[in-house]
Amino acid sequence: MVGVSALLAAAVFVVVKDALIDDAYITLAYAKNLAVHGQWGLVPGMEANSATSPLNVLLLGALTALTRVSGDPHPVVALGVLTVLTTAVLGWAWTRLCRVYRLPWPVALLGVLVVLANPFVLSAIGLEVLLIPAMLMLLTVFAAQGRPEWFGVAAGLAVLTRLDLVVFVLVIALCAGGIRRHIGKAALVGVAVSAPWFLFSWIALGSAVPDTLVIKQNQDDLFGSWSYATGPVMYYLGQELAVSMAFAPAVVGLIALCALVGLWFARRWDRFPSVSALVGLGAGAVAYYLTYMVLGVGPYHWYYVAPTTALGMFAVAILGVWLVWARREATLRVHAPAAALGVVAVFVFGAVAVDTGRDMPWRSPVIFGNWANAPDYAHVGLELGERAGDGTTVLSPGEIGALAYYCECRIVDVFSDRGRVADLVNQRIAEAGPVGSALLRLNYLFFDDVEPAKVDKRIRYTRGPGSGPDTWQVYSDALGVGHFTLVDEPSEDSRPVE
């Protein structure tokens, strides 16, 4: 299953590599700067802390450094290698889970495909969307095996993947008796794995938690009245089939979780195998979704990867356990879990149909909203680097990732310039309650206030055709024709982008 998973991931990457979203290029720019300059930042010469997933950047940075044997760094090649390796880990975890519950190999294959076929996952490759399900499956496997030390290692790596995955860590640990009884040991190992980075980030980078939490909480107006809770409806109205196929396995998982809870209260599963670790995976997804609703962040499509893949994998695993149990008990009810697994398989193949029913390789992701497709952004970024040079600071139009990656110039906004974060932090502290305010102050205890970089020019995006000097016409599959224009920046407009 490890080899099959790796081959599937390689095929997937060939399809999506030319259609990465702008936020993926933020991660790639961080990795390139780390590999080439040994610097944690989005643009050369400017320290920042806006990378949500430290583990993703560290792994990509290390792999990018290895690609320099040919001379130039190749972060996209490194991303392809990481995509294959991460999916191989996911396949390994499924193989181990199948051994624990004696599941047949097609269950493991379906579990991997639930992730790899999900349009929301494929539309955010480059972000930590494959690391997330891989870490969740490692947590689940080690919890099912009752191995607290290895669970602690997986927990530490999970919070380095995304700090908010601590929700899954806690729920799975509390549900699985083998971990709950040794929670102290697991916690110590987890802290030992993750604490060095967070301590370094807190002191050296000025915040243990990346700035993205504060930044994203100040961008919810980008989606109008849509919130994280209603985001799936928003996406459904634009892409009915794709969103249905992405969320359908999760809905099956949610139904299965509710059924398990009902059986537990009715005490009807005395002979059923212990599935507490699997219940933790499903319940963790629900807790994660509720946590994001409380945080009040916008409905960015990659924010749905953790709950949808967790519930989808939970559905496959628990239905597989039910199928094996029914066969062993020689019950006529064996048809029910087999049919349910068949339904999940239909949804997965529906997602595959969505993924392949477009130009191959992709020109843009299925779920997409950027101002320009990746090739157009590359063209603008390269020419912007030539025109801006080393001595010019350019204010970004709002989408900075691809421009920063390709231009390698001083292009600034809150993601690249720490001086532009201070106002957002102070605003969040003023708006938060006593507890939230205290936590924010603690997180930014070592944050040194610096002046925002003085802007010389800015690049603007406008819908519709455009021409003229310092103007680049672009096309987006989501928004159609638009254009970027590089203009001089009046001093009164040199303020942080919010």
DSSP 65-122: HHHGGGSS--HHHHHHHHHHHHHHHHHHHHHHHHHHHT--HHHHHHHHHHHHT-HHHH
Please determine, for residue 485, whether its predicted confidence score (pLDDT) is greater than 60: yes
Q: Are 18 and 360 contacting, i.e. CB atoms less than 8 angstroms apart?
A: no
Q: Are 255 and 277 contacting, i.e. CB atoms less than 8 angstroms apart?
A: no
Encode pLDDT of 98-129 as tens digits: 999 999 999 999 999 999 999 999 999 999 99
Mean pLDDT over 34-59 rounds to 94
Encode pLDDT of 261-303 as tens digits: 887 766 655 556 688 899 999 999 999 999 999 888 889 999 9
Please determine, for residue 334, whether its predicted confidence score (pLDDT) is greater than 90: no
Encode pLDDT of 210-263 as tens digits: 988 888 777 767 788 899 999 999 999 989 999 999 999 999 999 999 988 887
Residues 333, 394 within the same domain? no
The reply to whether 223 falls in a domain is yes
Torsion of CA 172, 3, 21, 160, to 10 degrees: 40
Residues 327, 469 within the same domain? no
pLDDT-derived band at 331 (thresholds 50, 70, 90) equals low
Percent of the chain with pLDDT over 90: 72
Q: How many domains does the chain have?
A: 2
Residues 285, 390 within the same domain? no
**Per-residue confidence (pLDDT) for residue 266, from 0 to 100:** 62
The reply to whether 426 falls in a domain is no
Encode pLDDT of 157-173 as tens digits: 999 999 999 999 999 99
Instruction: Report the alpha-carbon distance of residue 179 to residue 270 in Å, rounded.
Output: 21
Q: Are 461 and 478 contacting, i.e. CB atoms less than 8 angstroms apart?
A: no
Residues 260, 407 within the same domain? no
**Per-residue confidence (pLDDT) for residue 492, from 0 to 100:** 43
> Residue 228 has which token pair?
């994280």
C-alpha angle 211-26-77 in degrees, rounded to nearest 5: 140
Instruction: Report the alpha-carbon distance of residue 396 to residue 360 in Å, rounded.
Output: 31
- The string over 227-265, giving b where at least 16 C-beta atoms fall within 10 Å of a residue's C-beta and e elsewhere, is bbeebbebbeeebeebbbbbbbbbebbbebbeebeeeee
**Per-residue confidence (pLDDT) for residue 268, from 0 to 100:** 58
Residues 132, 265 within the same domain? yes
**Per-residue confidence (pLDDT) for residue 477, from 0 to 100:** 92
The reply to whether 49 falls in a domain is yes
> Domain residues for 263?
2-356
Residues 96, 151 within the same domain? yes
Instruction: Report the alpha-carbon distance of residue 281 to residue 99 in Å, rounded.
Output: 18
Q: Are 218 and 428 contacting, i.e. CB atoms less than 8 angstroms apart?
A: yes
Instruction: Report the chain's mean pLDDT, rounded to a whole number.
Output: 90
Give the SS3 label for residue 284: helix
Return the sign of the alpha-carbon dihedral for residues 97, 102, 104, 105.
Answer: positive
Strand ranges (DSSP E) for 388-445? Answer: 393-395, 410-412
The reply to whether 316 falls in a domain is yes
Mean pLDDT: which of 131-140, 295-304, 318-327 is highest? 131-140
Mean pLDDT over 194-202 rounds to 96
Residues 215, 132 within the same domain? yes
Please determine, for residue 493, whether its predicted confidence score (pLDDT) is greater than 60: no
Instruction: Report the alpha-carbon distance of residue 404 to residue 458 in Å, rounded.
Output: 13
> Residue 443 has which token pair?
């997180």
Q: Which of 305, 324, 356 is the last residue of a domain?
A: 356
The reply to whether 268 falls in a domain is yes
- At residue 210, φ and ψ (nearest 5 deg) are -55, 155
Residues 392, 279 within the same domain? no
**Per-residue confidence (pLDDT) for residue 419, from 0 to 100:** 87
Task: Point out the least confidently predicted range of 220-224, 409-413, 455-459.
Answer: 220-224
The reply to whether 435 falls in a domain is no
HSE (side-chain half, CA atoms, 13 Å) at 458: 20
pLDDT-derived band at 332 (thresholds 50, 70, 90) equals low
- At residue 481, φ and ψ (nearest 5 deg) are -80, 140
Instruction: Report the alpha-carbon distance of residue 224 to residue 230 in Å, rounded.
Output: 11
Residues 378, 328 within the same domain? no
The reply to whether 367 falls in a domain is no
Query: pTM for this one?
Result: 0.93
**Per-residue confidence (pLDDT) for residue 494, from 0 to 100:** 38
pLDDT-derived band at 435 (thresholds 50, 70, 90) equals confident
User: Which letter does DSSP use for residue 453 in this model?
Assistant: P
Residues 55, 28 within the same domain? yes
Please determine, for residue 308, whether its predicted confidence score (pLDDT) is greater than 50: yes
Encode pLDDT of 337-390 as tens digits: 889 999 999 999 999 999 999 889 999 999 999 999 999 999 999 999 888 877
Tell me which residue of 319, 342, 350 sits closest to 246, measured CA to CA. Answer: 350
Please determine, for residue 84, whether its predicted confidence score (pLDDT) is greater than 80: yes
Percent of the chain with pLDDT over 70: 95
Q: Are 381 and 407 contacting, i.e. CB atoms less than 8 angstroms apart?
A: yes
The reply to whether 482 falls in a domain is yes
Mean pLDDT over 42-64 rounds to 94
> Residue 79 has which token pair?
């991303």
Look at phi and psi of residue 489 and say left if phi exceeds 0, alpha if psi is from -120 to 50, else beta. beta
For the chain, the C-alpha Rg in angstroms (whole number) is 23
**Per-residue confidence (pLDDT) for residue 498, from 0 to 100:** 32
**Per-residue confidence (pLDDT) for residue 272, from 0 to 100:** 61
Instruction: Report the alpha-carbon distance of residue 416 to residue 450 in Å, rounded.
Output: 13
Residues 39, 118 within the same domain? yes
**Per-residue confidence (pLDDT) for residue 359, from 0 to 100:** 87
**Per-residue confidence (pLDDT) for residue 489, from 0 to 100:** 73
Q: Which of 325, 356, 387 is the last residue of a domain?
A: 356
Residues 283, 134 within the same domain? yes
